[in-house]
Structure 1
Amino acid sequence: MKIGLEVINKDGLSETVDFEVKYLVLGGYSGRNTEGVMKHIEELAKLGVPKPPRVPMLYPISRYLLRFDEEVEVLDDKTNGEVEYVLFVDKDILYVTVGSDHTDRDLEKYGVRKSKQMYPVIIPKKVWKYKDVKDHWDEIVIKSFITVKGKEILYQEDPLKALHPPEKLIEDIEKELKIDKNGLVIFSGTIPSITGELLFGEEFKILMHDPVLKRSLEHKYNIKILPGIPEKSEGE
């Protein structure tokens, strides 16, 4: 599966490249800080999501779920996004951007990997070259904002030093999943919410800010609930 990316160089100029996506893997519970990981696990536990058997976790999902969409259609109001960093790897780490792993929280109670397969994972078309940010990686900040009843709320915010570095994720994937890293797209796993609870709303915005090169990547999408249908036939 090929996707077109707009690579933004340090000088602000851009170029379009095609990237062949051969594997798509989502990281989970990937924080360097154990306390932060446990905070996110407890957030999910409040909704009945079982605690993971180990941390971090790795979830291969279908490539077609990688999308640039500006709208995600969902079945009900118990879904939301998670801000993460995203890597594009082909022999070496080529590009990085920000992404959202949009998740069905009800389905997550029955199987985390199944919930990851339910909805698309969203990225902007714009990416940075990894080599341009590698020397100040930990200083880059990721954020998410969720709009609830028309009000935008800062939902997540942390520097990338809160998450496992790219090389660690790739090492874990090669060791555990035994897949070739060429053509690999990786979502890092997310950070805890600022509110300490999961919020659900009608719009989700993700942002990655580089304070050294003074530039940002961002993307937002609407969350559209599809019309409902009766769960039972009349008379039941």
Structure 2
Amino acid sequence: MTFILNGAPLDIAPAHLVVAGWTGRDAAAIQHHIDELAALGVKPPSTTPLFYRVAAPLLTTAAQIEAVGPNSSGEVEPLILQVDGRRYLGLASDHTDRALEAHSVAMSKQVCAKPCAAELWPWEEVEPVLEDIRLQSWIQERGAWVPYQDGTIASIRPLADLIAGADLDGLAAAGGVAMMCGTFGAKGGVRPAARFRMAMTNPATGRSITHEYETVTLAEVA
């Protein structure tokens, strides 16, 4: 994959992709997300957080993905990439099949592409202000962009804890790794949308990373 770092192309091909789930720092916020998904038939997690392993090629900077059936949706998340002794912060969407999620969260993570922005920030530049970084998402409904998620990384467990919990250092030594770090509750509840827009803003610099993608629905053939 070709990313952009400080305006220059950076080729990264992570051998591993981890999706960290149930990472909220506030117990009430975690329970809200559990209840939110329970309304869709999703069983509660065995413990929190959990680290799901999915196929690395699912990570994509494409502006269009495909999903079987109309029941998938995105979630804005911080993205950590670690390879060749360097670590970067990016922006991604944990696009998930909600119908399959009611049967198996792990399987639902595996069947959808994981869109991400092409731009990355060097870890050492953002580490001092990580908790202040803001993530937002919008979905398109009836032709209008509607606010969907909004929060700061301070709402998520410390990223250092997630890095240790997923053993990113070990995975990075085995070919490089990318990890999606969890999300926030959705305004109005989790629901599908054909278009998803997301942004990550560093208030210390005013710089933002953005990405937008479309989901093409494939026929669910039985």
Q: Identify the residue that residue 213 of structure 2 maps to in structure 1.
A: 221
**Counterparts of residues 52-201 of structure 1 (less than 5 Å):** 52-90=45-83, 94-174=87-167, 179-182=170-173, 183-195=176-188, 197-201=189-193
SS in 2 for 1:107: helix
Deviation at residue 85 of structure 1 after TM alignment: 0.1
Helix, strand or coil for the counterpart of 1:47? coil
CA distance in structure 2 between the aligned counterparts of 1:209 and 1:226, rounded to whole angstroms: 33
Other-structure match for 1:207: 199
The root-mean-square deviation of aligned C-alpha atoms, in Å, is 1.6
Deviates more, 1:46-55 or 1:220-229: 220-229
Does the 8 Å CA contact 1:65/1:119 hold for their aligned counterparts?
Answer: yes
What is the alpha-carbon distance in structure 1 between the residues aligned to residue 105 and residue 61 of structure 2?
Answer: 23
Q: Which amino acid aligns with 1:4?
A: T
Sequence identity, in percent? 27
Shift of 1:90: 3.0
User: TM-score scaled to structure 2, two decimals?
Assistant: 0.94
Instruction: Flag the 1:178–1:130 CA change in 2: closer, same or farther, 3 A.
Output: closer
Amino acid in the other structure paired with 2:115: I
Q: Write the distance in 1 (CA, Å) between the matches of 2:83 and 2:172.
A: 6
Query: How far did 1:111 drift?
Result: 0.6
Could you tell me which runs of 5 or more consecutive residues in structure 1 were left unpaired when the two chains were aligned.
9-13, 232-236
* Change in CA separation of 1:172 and 1:178 when aligned onto 2, cut-off 3 Å: same
1:16 aligns with 2:9: yes
Per the alignment, in what secondary structure is the counterpart of residue 17 of structure 1? strand
Which of 18, 25, 30 matches 1:25?
18
Query: 1:147-189, CA deviations, whole angstroms, 9 ceiling, x for partnerless residues?
Result: 1221211000001100122211111012xx9943331111001
**Secondary structure in structure 2 of the residue aligned to 1:181:** helix
Tell me how far apart the structure 1 counterparts of residues 86 and 41 of structure 2 sit (CA, whole Å): 36
Residue 36 of structure 1 is aligned with which of 29, 32, 42?
Answer: 29
1:184-214 residue CA offsets vs partner (Å, 9 max, x unmatched): 111001111122x112211001110111111
Name the structure 2 match of 1:7: 5
Please tell me the residue identity of whatever aligns with 1:155. Answer: Y
- Residue 125 of structure 1 deviates from its aligned partner by 1.0
Give 3-state SS (helix, strand or coil) of 1:191's partner: coil
In the alignment, the residues of structure 1 paired with residue 103 and residue 86 of structure 2 have an alpha-carbon distance, to the nearest angstrom, of 34
Deviations 1:99-146 (A, max 9, x none): 001100000011111000111111111111111111111111001101
Deviations 1:25-58 (Å, cap 9, x if unpaired)? 0000101111111111111000100000000011
Instruction: Give the SS at the match of 2:172.
Output: coil
Bigger CA drift: 16-25 or 39-48? 16-25
Cα 1:92–1:142 shift into 2, 3 Å: farther
Q: Is the 8 A contact 2:14 2:83 kept in 1?
A: no
- Decide whether the 8 Å contact of 1:149 with 1:201 is kept in 2: no
Pair 1:4–1:91, CA change in 2 (3 A): closer
Q: Give how far 1:228 is off.
A: 4.9
**How many equivalent pairs are there?**
220
Contact 1:84–1:187 (Cα < 8 Å) also in 2:
yes
Instruction: State whether residues 43 and 198 of structure 1, in contact with CA within 8 Å, keep that contact through their aligned partners in structure 2.
Output: yes
